[in-house]
Amino acid sequence: MTSHRGLSAIVGTVFLVAIVIGALSYVTYSMNILGNFSESLIVEEKRQADKQSEKFDITSVEITPTNKLDGVITNSGQIPVKIKTLWIEETGVPDTVQKFDIDQNYCTWEKIEPDKRY
């Protein structure tokens, strides 16, 4: 019986080390998840702020004699704007919606006349 002296202390130490390692792993994992969440909040907040800074003006739109769409767009916001699509609906005529693919970038305070390819 004397050969088992101190065995309970060793078993208790092993359990304590296992519990401490598990707790530290959980705390590290939680901190990582919290860091990722904070980073995604910062990115979303910046996206929302950029969205509020977008502003562009369509100063003129006309149809040329060759039936082409011509217009002038000025980016008066604080960030670059990309205009991908322009939808035009004729008033007074039912179901006449036309889609034009613009796909052009406009830098801050840049004034661009789109190509007369529409």
Q: What is the pLDDT of residues 35-53, one digit of tens each?
A: 999 999 999 999 998 888 8
What mean pLDDT is reported for the chain? 84
pLDDT of the residue at 116: 44
Quick one: pLDDT at residue 2? 60
**pLDDT tens readout for residues 60-98:** 888 888 877 788 888 888 888 888 888 888 888 888 888
Please give the model's pTM, rounded to 2 decimal places: 0.51
Distance CA 99, CA 114 (A): 15
Report the C-alpha gap between 82 and 102 in whole angstroms. Answer: 9
> What sign has the CA pseudo-torsion 79, 53, 100, 115?
negative
- Most distant pair of Cα atoms in the chain: their distance: 110
Rounded CA-CA distance 93/86 in Å is 18
